Amino acid sequence: MGDIDAAGARQSSRPIEVRRFRGGALGLEDDPDLVATEEPFEIRVGYSRRDGSRAEEPVSVTMRTPGHDEDLAVGFLFTEGIIKSGSDVQSVTARGQRAADGLTNVVRVELAPGVSVDFKRLERNFYMTSSCGVCGKASIDAVAVQGQYDVGAVPFRMSGAALGRLPAALKTQQAVFEQTGGLHASGLFDAEGTILALREDVGRHNALDKLIGNELLRGEVPLHRNGVIVSGRASFELMQKSKMAGVPLVAAVGAPSSLAVELAREFGITLVGFLKPDRFNVYSRPDRVV
Amino acid sequence: MGDIDAAGARQSSRPIEVRRFRGGALGLEDDPDLVATEEPFEIRVGYSRRDGSRAEEPVSVTMRTPGHDEDLAVGFLFTEGIIKSGSDVQSVTARGQRAADGLTNVVRVELAPGVSVDFKRLERNFYMTSSCGVCGKASIDAVAVQGQYDVGAVPFRMSGAALGRLPAALKTQQAVFEQTGGLHASGLFDAEGTILALREDVGRHNALDKLIGNELLRGEVPLHRNGVIVSGRASFELMQKSKMAGVPLVAAVGAPSSLAVELAREFGITLVGFLKPDRFNVYSRPDRVV
């Protein structure tokens, strides 16, 4: 549980003045409230050129909730296939105009010497990923073979009762940080249904990248002995990121999309949706629920 | 209400087999269910070169729920500032491998003769939008001056009681289509709280683009006499799209993000959050709630 700490919790929400409508009338004055922080974030990669000199390339700008930015940067690079392991990373440096507040909007990930990135391939890869299905089944197959881990072969098993305990466990731990109602959560759990780590963000894909990035830096990837729970709906990109990290079971409190189900079946991931204490749906690989 | 028709409703969800966990045990057989359709979608623009010859350029690939694809394409081009009015559009053509099923994943928007697009500016624009705030306040100002309409000056007024009726009205109309729990909704309403149009999508920004695109093609933009309600949370991009369409009031059933509040204040949009029948919060321009 050591990982569910308050680092970044101060930055994840922001005080704000709000006019409340209650009892049929608008208040005459503003009241203080908290809103989830949404801020832009740039990921840059430092790497070696062929001649050994160092170079830097921006790879992504995204809106995110500050906190665990290093995890987010490393997780994004890993789930997008830009780095292959935690040892590809030499250092992670946050910087930006607001560093004085503890808020930084640019993170530079310095790759280890000898680790090279094919930025042309990155572009191609990104397009293929984004356009998966535009060109039909062939692209889904291309996505499906991405990643190093054969998740379908992972012998993870979990009881329905343990699954049913997850939403309450997630909510309890989320309550420590979440006072805004504006954050998505991703939680990592073991086969007994214990939440091992929790990350939050205004973007659901960011919450998962933060979670995976943290595990990668701790040397815990592939996550073959864990499942991931998401507080909202399960979309295409959550399944893809879970596949990259070797996660055999993904549980969503909300609904899955059709493409999430298709990818789960293609990848051999167990996909659980509408997860409640006593009832849920299994959309793929029900053999892992015992 | 003529606009809340069933066009596209057939495509917005898809039958699927699911294993249900009920009463402490997993079912032995699959049951039929419905999931929200998520499919990739490419928007292409046909335009005139300087020498008068025609050309085509892909501008976006996004995941979306099929249905009202023409509205989505036109709405996206408008809220991203690529076209300025409905008369910039000569025709919209859907095409793709699956046209035989009524499903198409590519839409081509043919611009009227003489309408030119600066694709270089488009790229720059996109970067500025995405990275708003990376470079600090200057970028937020740049976003704020985007668009043709001075929303802050729009004299829209609405009673708190009429606002309070919106969530139930949205839910009633959404129930016609939504059987999957997986779709975000955007609704257009008037000052009396009547829902005039509704669009749904797995992506919240797509639902709003569909709504705005439809109004643009009907010649109803700027939407100075309307508000927009979203079924979930209010993020940065929803405020930006609303500003582009001249919408003076945005109401969210869920929470706003910090950047949504900042942009609403900058734009002069009334932002309502946590909207319930008898209570809600007003984050900006409370003078429009009477």
Q: What is the pLDDT of residues B165-220, one digit of tens each?
A: 999 999 888 876 667 888 999 999 999 999 999 999 998 899 999 999 999 999 99
Tell me which residue of B166, B151, B144 sits closest to B285, measured CA to CA.
Answer: B151
CA pair distance A143, B246, nearest whole angstrom: 40
Backbone angles phi, psi at A113, to 5 degrees: -55, 135
E-assigned strand segments in chain B: 13-22, 25-26, 31-36, 39-48, 54-64, 89-95, 106-111, 184-189, 195-201, 227-230, 249-252, 270-273, 279-284
Residues in chain A: 290
Give the pLDDT of residue A260: 93
Q: How do strand A249-252 and strand A270-273 relate by DSSP bridges?
A: parallel
Chain B residue numbers with beta carbons less than 8 Å from the beta carbon of A101 are none
Q: Determine the 3-state secondary structure of A252 from DSSP.
A: strand
Q: CB within 8 A of B285, min separation 6: which ones?
A: B152, B264, B265, B268, B269, B270, B271
Which residue, chain included where needed, has tokens 């949370």? B233
Residues in A touching B26 (Cβ below 8 Å): 160, 282, 286, 289
B33 versus A50: the higher-pLDDT residue is B33
Q: Given a cut of 70, is residue B127 above it in pLDDT?
A: no
> How close A124 comes to chain B (CA, Å)?
13
* Alpha carbon distance B160, B171 (integer Å): 18
Nearest to A35 among B105, B161, B256 (CB): B256
Q: Does A289 contact B21 at a Cβ distance shorter than 8 Å?
A: yes
Of A39, A181, A278, nearest to B274 by CB-CB distance is A181
Q: For residue range A104-145, list pLDDT tens digits in order.
A: 678 899 999 988 876 665 554 444 444 344 444 444 444 554
Q: Do A202 and B286 touch (CB under 8 A)?
A: no
d(CA B49, CA A19): 51
Model confidence band, residue A229 (pLDDT cutoffs 50, 70, 90):
very high
- C-alpha to C-alpha distance for A59 and B128, rounded to whole angstroms: 15
CA-based nearest distance A220→chain B, Å: 30
- Could you identify the residue written with the tokens 């059987």? B179
* pLDDT over 70 percentage in chain A: 82
Q: Rounded to whole angstroms, how far apart are CA atoms B246 and B268?
A: 10
Structure confidence at residue B6 (pLDDT): 42
The answer to whether the Cβ–Cβ distance between A134 and B106 falls below 8 Å is yes
Residue A178: per-residue pLDDT: 67
Q: Can you tell me whether residue B143 is helix, strand or coil? A: helix
Q: Taking CB atoms and an 8 Å cutoff, what residues of chain B touch A159? A: none
pTM of the model: 0.87
d(C-alpha A31, C-alpha A16), whole Å: 8
Sheet with A89-95, side-by-side order of all strands: A54-64, A39-48, A106-111, A89-95
In sequence order, the 6+-apart residues with CB closer than 8 A to the CB of B138 are none
- Nearest by CB to residue A22, choosing from B130, B279, B283, is B279
Specify the range with the lowest mean pLDDT, choosing from A174-178, B70-74, B148-152: A174-178
Enumerate helices (H) and strands (E) in chain B, giving the number of each: 8, 13
Q: By C-alpha distance, which of A165, A204, A170 is closest to A187?
A: A170
Q: Say if residue B260's pLDDT is above 90.
A: yes
CB contact under 8 A, A18 and B160: no
d(CA B243, CA A62): 21
User: What pLDDT does A102 receive?
Assistant: 47
Model ipTM? 0.84
Contacts across the A-B interface (CB distance below 8 Å): 183
Comparing alpha-carbon positions, the chain B residue that sits nearest to A275 is B21
Q: Which of A8-12, A75-79, A146-150, B36-40 has the highest mean pLDDT?
A: A75-79
Residue pair A239/A273 in contact by the 8 Å Cβ criterion: no
Portion of chain B with pLDDT greater than 70, in percent = 82
Residues of B in contact with A99 (CB under 8 A): none
Which residues of chain A make contact with B134, given a CB cutoff of 8 A? 40-42, 61, 96, 105-106
What is the reported pLDDT for B156?
97
The interaxial angle of helices A69-79 and A204-217, nearest 10 deg, is 90
Distance CA A138, CA A224 (A): 27
Which residue among the candidates B72, B83, B106, B132 is catalytic per the annotation? B132
* Identity of the residue in B16, B36, B257 whose CB atom sits nearest the CB atom of A202: B257
- Give residue B220's pLDDT: 97
If 0-12 CB within 10 Å is exposed, 13-18 middle and 19+ buried, where does residue A217 land?
Answer: middle
**Dist. CA A37–CA B133, nearest whole Å:** 13
| A48 class by beta-carbon count within 10 Å (0-12 exposed, 13-18 middle, 19+ buried) | middle
Does residue B143 carry a pLDDT above 60?
no
**Tens of pLDDT along B57-101?**
888 777 888 889 999 999 999 988 889 999 999 999 876 545 444
- Supply the pLDDT for residue B96: 54
Residues of B in contact with A39 (CB under 8 A): 133, 258-259
> DSSP 3-state assignment of A53?
coil
Please give the single-letter amino acid code of residue A201.
D
Name which of A12, A20, A38, A101 to mutate to probe chain B: the one with the most chain B Cβ atoms within 10 A of its Cβ: A38
Q: Is A132 a catalytic residue?
A: yes
CA–CA separation, A202 and A222 (whole Å): 26
Q: Is A135 exposed, middle or buried (0-12, 13-18, 19+ CB in 10 A)?
A: middle
Mean pLDDT value across chain B: 84
Q: For A258-279, what is each residue's pLDDT tens digit?
A: 989 999 999 999 999 999 999 9
Q: Is the pLDDT of residue A154 over 70?
A: yes
Question: What pLDDT was estimated at residue B120?
Answer: 62
**Using N-to-C axis directions, what is the helix angle for B236-244 and B204-217, rounded to 10°?**
0
Helix, strand, or coil (residue B120): helix
Q: Amino acid identity, residue B90?
A: Q
Mutate to test the interface with B, among A258, A259, A287, A288 (most CBs of B within 10 A): A258
Q: Give the distance from residue B141's alpha carbon to the nearest chain A alpha carbon, in angstroms.
A: 15
Contact between chains at A182 and B42 (C-beta distance less than 8 A)? no
Name residue B63's beta-bridge partners: B40
| Residue B51: Cβ within 10 Å count | 5
Catalytic entry in A36, A77, A89, A132? A132
Provide CB contacts within 8 A for A240, sequence distance 6+.
A79, A129, A143, A146, A263
Indicate yes or no: CB of A258 within 8 angstroms of CB of B282: no
What percent of chain A has pLDDT above 90? Answer: 57
Report pLDDT for B121.
Answer: 56
Contact criterion met (CB < 8 Å) for A42 and B136 = no
Q: Say which amino acid occupies A253.
A: V
pLDDT given for residue A104 in this prediction: 65
- Give B249's contacts in chain A (Cβ within 8 Å): none
- pLDDT reported for residue B59: 81
Least confident span in A132-136, A237-241, B33-37: A132-136
User: Which tokens belong to A115?
Assistant: 């680790």
